[in-house]
Amino acid sequence: MTNPYFDGTDPDASETGRADDPEIARLLDAILPHVAFDGWSEAAFRAAAHETGMTVPQAHALCPRGAIDLAVALHDAGDRAMVEAVRAADLTAMRYRDRVAFALRARIEAVRDKEALRRATALFALPHHAAEGSRLLWRTADAIWTALGDASDDVNWYTKRATLSGVWASVVLYWLGDDSLDHQATWSFIDRRIDDVMRIESAKARANKSVLLKPLTGALSFLFSGVHAPHHKPPMDLPGHWSPRR
């Protein structure tokens, strides 16, 4: 049964629209055995190009940044596999927190190569690649919320993705060190992290209802009332936009 919470938005394509290019997929398949030994390096990239019958310039024409672009392609492939799993699942009987947990588990199960992810995590933790790593975390969080049919159009669009980005980052780090049977320790970790998030949301709801905090929460609500999700932004190279209160 298809997932009734999927809203029809297609998050499959990467920002470049080339993550599922068959030639890039060939390079990705070829580089993975080398990543365990050489990391996401130029040496591994050159070996992958050689094994696919491409010249290095031809491979760089597809992936200008070399192995880094292939690491991004691997990440995007995992996001696409997660989205497909969420689309195909029947989530109607699940609480919303359980749907989020399902999506996080599906994203872990979509990891093709644990060592490649370990090396990619180290790569994107480097200062000069940290912005790229943060962007990928956000993209996964956005793919999860979009697949679950999130319809928020205000500042909650951003807070949901920021919170889930942090949860996903902690889940990846935990899973990389998890040697439990069938990842049971990781599944329990996901449940605990979501419980933490739900406690924060409950505290926010109590604060909004508090008579003492009403002046502060009301002012913040007014301040953020002009913030909208990116799909309502005018054409510009910005993540979102602000407009006068509606």
Location of structure tokens 């910005």: 238
Distance CA 48, CA 50 (A): 5
Confidence category of residue 12, pLDDT binned at 50, 70, 90 = very low
Q: Which is higher by pLDDT, 231 or 3?
A: 231
| Lowest model confidence (mean pLDDT) among 11-20, 72-81, 133-142, 208-217 | 11-20
Dihedral of CA 132/116/121/187: which sign?
Answer: positive
**Distances, alpha carbon 27 to alpha carbons 59, 132, 134, 215, 219, in Å:** 8, 20, 24, 57, 52
Location of structure tokens 């919320």: 145
Distance CA 2, CA 169 (A): 28
pLDDT in tens, 81-132: 999 999 999 999 999 899 999 999 999 999 999 999 999 999 999 999 999 9
Can you give the pLDDT at residue 246? 45
pLDDT(7) > 80 = no
Buried residues in 127-147 as b, exposed as e (16+ CB within 10 A): eebeebbeebbbbbbbbbbbb
Distance CA 116, CA 72 (A): 11
Backbone dihedral region of 94: left (phi > 0), alpha (psi from -120 to 50 degrees) or beta? beta
pLDDT(45) > 50 = yes
DSSP, collapsed to helix, strand or coil, labels residue 12 as coil
Distance CA 121, CA 35 (A): 12
Can you give the pLDDT at residue 116? 97
Distance CA 142, CA 158 (A): 9
DSSP state of 90: -
pLDDT in tens, 220-239: 454 555 666 776 444 555 55
